[in-house]
Amino acid sequence: MGSRASGVNRGGCRAVLFRVLVAAACGIVAFATIGSSTSAQQRREREPNSVYAARRAKLAAEVDAPIVLWGYTGREEYSEAAIFAQEENFYYLTGHNEEDAAVVIFPASKSATGGSAGSDGKSEILFLPPKDTAKEKWNGLRMSPTDPGIEARTGFASVQPISELIPTLQKIATTYPEIYTVLPYETEMGGYPHEKDEMDWLDKSVPGLKRADIREKIAALRQIKSPGELLFLKRAVELSDDAHLEAMKMMRPGLYEYQIAAKMVEVHLMGGSEAEGYSPIVGAGPNSTALHYDKLSRKIEDGDIVVLDVGAQYSGYSADITRTLPANGKFTPRQREIYEIVLGAQNAAIAAAKPGSQLCRAGKNSLFKIAYDYINTHGKDKQGRPLGQYFIHGLSHHIGLNVHDVGDSCRPLEPGMVFTIEPGIYIPDENLGVRIEDDAVVTETGIKLLSEKLPRNPDEIEKIMAEAAKKRAEGKKGDD
Ligand code: GLY
Ligand code: MN
Ligand code: MN
């Protein structure tokens, strides 16, 4: 669903529903690595330094003034269970996942004396907090500017203490009329205070230094995934597929929604996921019609339909996958009718998707329109009206470092983009919600579904559920 873009995962420390479970798993990692140079919140994998450096160089070639970005402080969320995760733009450009860092990237254009004006010959500087051994006794090791070999580890030729940031900015202010940074903006969720805090700090520390927004330029880069990002996304999808298969096998009346979610999160974590891509959505019966249902408190009943929108994060990248299941293993005729319409809409969009297609509703190559038209011309509600009115969210969004990834949703698709295809019909009067969501990468000629191994066909789903129920019954008999 596209409508809550940038309202999710905006905290520096991710507030996932299963944070305690996640914290416990990461705690094990931290314990196992005491004494090494790995810090507790380190992601499982990371792209090579050269990849992050190439992204910075690309951006530096697009600007005529220095770019200044701040990472998260680690104090964004006041919770003992919070786990640090870097500000996404900062991570995209540095691969650095620790607190209180900043980066300055000078424009690529050279002055007559070599190097960018005011840069002292440096093309970029990473600023890190000083070594704090007392703090490290609690949190584990962190990188610091005085660590031997810090340049090679971070991929920055210049790594300086964060206290040097103000003098650097003061110098920049004498040479450039403005800097580029990520400016604060208001989202429908009210915005996130990080950028505003940094701008207030800047006003106090370097008064008069103007700034322009670099957000859209970074977002445009983030829309095309690198080979490394594609690998991380594929792993996130694989883990999510595994979790959905487990859910299909265990689903039955009498379980609570949270028990299904707990099993799925366990599959993610045991497979190496560091966190959920977003809070798991498991909504049965009436809850199937709430798009981002989050209470997970219902006891699943015979005859319920259950929407499971659950996706893993792997090495910072999030999958986003939904399946809709009959609680008792067999869709009612009406549930199957609606399910098949949603599946038909998804298949129509999948068949049409190729480079040049658009994810936004208005575009002339809009995939949304294809799915909407399918839904609106198939089936009726109880009053005999077409079903388009019950498809109440967008069809697609990009995925990446954010499950609702950044960038212009009307930008025509290009090879290397990764996005969701997720039609849905939600009829509260019938306690009937159906969503099917898959993740796809754009190829030179079309798209490839990353989540294709996870069945969407209702017969296949019923078969998997029936086989699992049979095994459960046999197991019970064996116990008697
Ligand atoms: N999992 C939220 C969405 O599908 O957009
Ligand atoms: Mn989605
Ligand atoms: Mn989803």
Q: Which string of DSSP letters, residue by residue, matches 360-424?
A: SSSSTTBHHHHHHHHHHTS---TTS--SGGG--S-S--B-SSSSS--S-TTSPP-TT-EEEE--E
Q: What's the pLDDT at 121? A: 85
Average pLDDT value for the chain:
89
Q: Is the per-residue pLDDT at 34 higher than 80?
A: no
Separation of CA 320 and ligand 1 centre (Å): 6
Separation of CA 397 and ligand 1 centre (Å): 9
Instruction: Round to whole Å and give the CA distance between 87 and 14.
Output: 10
Give span(s): CATH 3.40.350.10, the chain: 48-222
Separation of CA 447 and ligand 1 centre (Å): 20
The architecture CATH gives domain 227-474: Alpha-Beta Complex (3.90)
Q: What's the pLDDT at 227? A: 98
Q: Which of 3-12, 41-50, 183-192, 315-324 has the lowest mean pLDDT?
A: 3-12
Interval 57-78: pLDDT, tens: 999 999 999 999 999 998 888 7
Separation of CA 5 and ligand 2 centre (Å): 9
Instruction: Round to whole Å and give the CA distance between 52 and 208.
Output: 31
Give the mean model confidence (pLDDT) for residues 144-167.
98
Q: Is the per-residue pLDDT at 28 higher than 90?
A: no
Give the mean model confidence (pLDDT) for residues 180-194.
70
**Which residue minimizes the CA distance to atom 4 of ligand 1?**
1
Q: What's the pLDDT at 151? A: 98
Give span(s): CATH 3.90.230.10, the chain: 227-474
Q: Is the per-residue pLDDT at 10 higher than 90?
A: no
Q: Is the per-residue pLDDT at 438 higher than 90?
A: yes
Q: What's the pLDDT at 6? A: 35
Q: What's the pLDDT at 113? A: 60
Write down the CATH superfamily of domain 48-222.
Creatinase/prolidase N-terminal domain (3.40.350.10)
Which among 422, 286, 419 is positioned nearest to 347, based on CA atoms? 422
Ligand with minimal distance to 322 CA: 3
Q: Are 154 and 94 in contact (CB under 8 A)?
A: yes
The response to whether residue 99 sits with its C-beta less than 6 Å from ligand 1 reads no
- Nearest atom of ligand 1 to the alpha carbon of 397: 5
Percent of the chain with pLDDT over 70: 89
Q: Is the per-residue pLDDT at 3 higher than 80?
A: no
Q: Is the per-residue pLDDT at 469 higher than 70?
A: yes
Q: What's the pLDDT at 192? A: 62
Instruction: Round to whole Å and give the CA distance between 475 and 480.
Output: 9
Structure-model confidence comparison of residues 18 and 164, the more confident one: 164
Q: How confident is the model at residue 36 (pLDDT cuts 50, 70, 90)?
A: very low
Instruction: Round to whole Å and give the CA distance between 394 and 4.
Output: 10
The response to whether residue 278 sits with its C-beta less than 6 Å from ligand 1 reads yes
The response to whether residue 274 sits with its C-beta less than 6 Å from ligand 1 reads no
| φ/ψ bin of 320: left (φ > 0), alpha (ψ from -120 to 50), beta (otherwise) | beta
**Which residue minimizes the CA distance to atom 5 of ligand 1?**
1
- Nearest atom of ligand 1 to the alpha carbon of 422: 4
Q: What's the pLDDT at 207? A: 92
Give the mean model confidence (pLDDT) for residues 201-229.
95
Percent of the chain with pLDDT over 90: 79
Q: What's the pLDDT at 114? A: 64
Q: What's the pLDDT at 107? A: 96
Q: How confident is the model at residue 111 (pLDDT cuts 50, 70, 90)?
A: low
Q: Which of 39-48, 205-214, 373-382, 422-431 has the lowest mean pLDDT?
A: 39-48
